[in-house]
């Protein structure tokens, strides 16, 4: 067992060991006494000198301990308790979090404070994060002692020490590799990239990665088992099959388990005709994985909120590909208001809802309202329920273009009550389309009763004055009326 000693030496100038009761009584009478709610700091002249300068907890065993040996001079009837903190500043006033023996953060044996390797790991990671980086800091001891219900406090600080917490190696990126992408490193792209909820955090403080992959099919269209492994970023360039992460037993179909990186075998998601996708979650701090079958059987996504009275009758967007429901939806909605909005996959609250995620453009199940206190605006929204992300483009103007020419936009006026855009203008016998924000990135065409993104041109057969009203919603449902005045 390793035992590292921090010695705290009391200065003889205080003289508590040699003083008699009368001398001690006189000292207490001239000293400011305190209750629990006040702190009377007494300078006992304590110093602390660690017998080590650097500890790497990756080399420690769970039974290893590190001790602070305290030396002080107090009357025998003094009750003493210790609180310890770690800080990058030497002054005790810099300490913000103190640990106690009652919190099971350490133990006290005689005049020694005993800290196990696990307890030291917790203190360091709580203060500085879980990354296995060397942290330099001071250990501050706040000693509280009482005599006859009168309380006093003394502080002491060690010399600076260095401790490296233990943690597994966590890479910045991980990819799915398996049946769904043909067991090909070349196909380890963004579609098969595990993503975190907040990339601004260290991977050690946010070690959870998620990806949603399509369920593979047999030639006859039925689902087949999805064998897979995990490819860390470092394996991609060299196509290093030997460094993939997997499980202990080949073909393990458990929905959760432990990852290994030595002689790793393939996990397996059994064939499930009801599963269109699989959501895989990795916790790389714990080296665990979980698998959940996912299906999107709704062709619509709903945006109840202040803008539509928290109902489901409008503010609806449609599946990007209705023949292949993959959780991706797009369309035009009004969002904002005092209480914001939420997202559902069905016209009811009973089948789940999504709210605000940790970062802009992300959602989580049962999360809080999105955009509370914002101004209601009209948007084009692209929603990916599998990835739990959305992207929105504010629609500031919709215009007619192509009539009388393809260089001139005829701007339309927005009616928030009906979420429609209209214009009355003179037109010639020629084609036209609608486009958004004077740009071709978003445009609508097709037939008046069924408009699609990037749809075909529409025709005005006879010159005259027309009132055109556009109702943009989602592909196939967006429509317009063309009335000759």
Q: What is the pLDDT of residue 31?
A: 31
Q: Is 457 helix (H, G, I), strand (E, B) or coil?
A: coil
Question: What is the phi/psi pair of residue 417, to 5°?
Answer: -65, -40
Q: Are 475 and 419 in contact (CB under 8 A)?
A: no
Measured in whole angstroms, the distance separating CA 304 from the mean position of its chain's CA atoms is 24
**Which residues fall within 8 angstroms of residue 59, CB to CB, at 6 or more apart?**
none
Q: What is the pLDDT of residue 281?
A: 94
Q: What is the pLDDT of residue 16?
A: 33
CATH class, range 174-294: mainly beta
Nearest alpha carbon to residue 171 among 232, 248, 225: 232
Domain 398-484 has CATH 1.10.3470: no
CB atoms within 10 A of CB 14: 19
Q: What is the pTM of this model?
A: 0.56
Nearest alpha carbon to residue 394 among 382, 383, 380, 384: 380
Q: β-strand 150-157 against 79-87: which pairing, if any?
A: unpaired
Q: How far is 22 from 353, CA to CA, in rounded Å? A: 73
The residue whose two tokens read 């940790």 is 358
Measured in whole angstroms, the distance separating CA 483 from the mean position of its chain's CA atoms is 51
Helix then strand then coil, % of the chain, to nearest 5: 10, 45, 45
Q: What is the pLDDT of residue 44?
A: 57
> Would you give the end-to-end CA distance of the chain in angstroms?
95
Nearest alpha carbon to residue 377 among 433, 303, 475: 303
In the sheet that holds 464-471, the strands lie side by side as: 413-415, 420-427, 464-471, 479-484
Nearest alpha carbon to residue 260 among 234, 286, 278, 227: 286
Q: What is the pLDDT of residue 39?
A: 62
Q: Which residues of the chain have pLDDT under 50?
A: 1-37
Q: What is the pLDDT of residue 12?
A: 29
The residue whose two tokens read 């098969």 is 192
Q: How far is 377 from 327, CA to CA, in rounded Å? A: 24
Q: What is the pLDDT of residue 273?
A: 63
Cα dist. 257→111, 179, 243, 289 in Å? 45, 19, 18, 6
Over residues 67-110, the pLDDT tens digits come to 888 777 777 788 888 899 999 998 888 988 999 999 899 998 88
Identify the architecture of domain 3-164 in CATH: Sandwich (2.60)
Q: Are 224 and 218 in contact (CB under 8 A)?
A: yes
**Which residues fall within 8 angstroms of residue 98, CB to CB, at 6 or more apart?**
83, 84, 85, 142
Q: What is the pLDDT of residue 332?
A: 97
Over residues 420-447, the pLDDT tens digits come to 999 999 999 999 999 999 999 999 999 9
Q: How far is 23 from 44, CA to CA, in rounded Å? A: 16
Q: Which two tokens stand for residue 385?
A: 């329920």
Q: Are 401 and 433 in contact (CB under 8 A)?
A: yes
Q: What is the pLDDT of residue 152?
A: 86
């Amino acid at each position: 067992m390793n035992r590292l000693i921090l010695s705290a030496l009391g200065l003889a100038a205080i003289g508590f060991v040699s003083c008699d009761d009368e001398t001690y009584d006189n000292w207490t009478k001239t000293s400011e006494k305190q209750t629990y709610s006040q702190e009377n700091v007494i300078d006992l002249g304590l110093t602390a000198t660690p017998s080590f300068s650097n500890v790497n907890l990756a080399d420690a065993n769970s039974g290893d301990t590190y001790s602070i040996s305290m030396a002080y001079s107090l009357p025998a009837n003094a009750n003493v308790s210790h609180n310890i903190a770690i800080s990058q500043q030497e002054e005790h006033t810099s300490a913000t979090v103190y640990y106690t023996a009652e919190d099971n953060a350490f133990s006290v044996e005689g005049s020694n404070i005993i800290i196990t390797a696990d307890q030291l790991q917790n203190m360091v990671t709580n203060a500085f994060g879980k990354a296995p980086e060397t942290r330099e800091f001071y250990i501050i001891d706040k000693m509280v002692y009482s005599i006859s219900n009168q309380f006093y406090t003394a502080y002491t600080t060690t010399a600076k020490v260095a401790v490296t917490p233990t943690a597994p190696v966590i890479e910045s990126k991980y990819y799915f590799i398996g049946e769904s992408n043909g067991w090909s490193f070349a196909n380890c792209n963004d579609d098969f990239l595990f993503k975190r909820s907040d990339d601004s955090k260290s991977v050690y403080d946010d070690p959870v990665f998620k990806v949603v992959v399509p369920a593979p099919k047999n030639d006859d269209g039925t689902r087949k088992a999805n064998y897979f492994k995990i490819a860390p970023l470092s394996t991609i360039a060299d196509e290093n099959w030997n460094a993939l992460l997997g499980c202990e037993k080949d073909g393990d179909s458990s929905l959760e388990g432990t990852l290994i990186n030595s002689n790793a075998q393939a996990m397996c998601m059994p064939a499930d005709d009801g599963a269109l996708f699989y959501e895989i979650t990795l916790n790389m701090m714990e080296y665990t994985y979980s698998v959940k079958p996912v299906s999107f059987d709704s062709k619509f996504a709903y945006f109840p909120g202040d803008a539509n009275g928290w109902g489901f009758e409008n503010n609806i967007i449609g599946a990007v590909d209705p023949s292949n429901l993959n959780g991706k939806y797009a369309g035009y909605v009004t969002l904002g208001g005092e209480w914001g909005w939420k997202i559902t996959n069905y016209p009811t609250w009973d089948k789940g809802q999504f709210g605000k995620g940790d970062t802009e453009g992300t959602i989580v199940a049962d999360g809080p309202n999105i955009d509370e206190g914002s101004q209601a605006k009209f948007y084009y929204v692209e929603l990916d329920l599998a990835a739990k992300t959305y992207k929105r483009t504010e629609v500031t103007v919709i215009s007619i273009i192509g009539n009388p020419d393809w260089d001139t936009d005829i701007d339309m006026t927005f009616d928030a009550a009906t979420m429609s855009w209209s214009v009355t203008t003179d037109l010639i016998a020629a084609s036209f389309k609608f486009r958004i924000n004077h740009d071709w990135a978003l445009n609508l065409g097709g037939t008046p009763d069924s408009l699609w993104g990037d749809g075909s041109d529409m025709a005005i057969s006879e010159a005259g004055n027309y009132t055109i009203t556009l109702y943009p919603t989602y592909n196939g449902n967006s429509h317009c009326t063309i009335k000759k005045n």
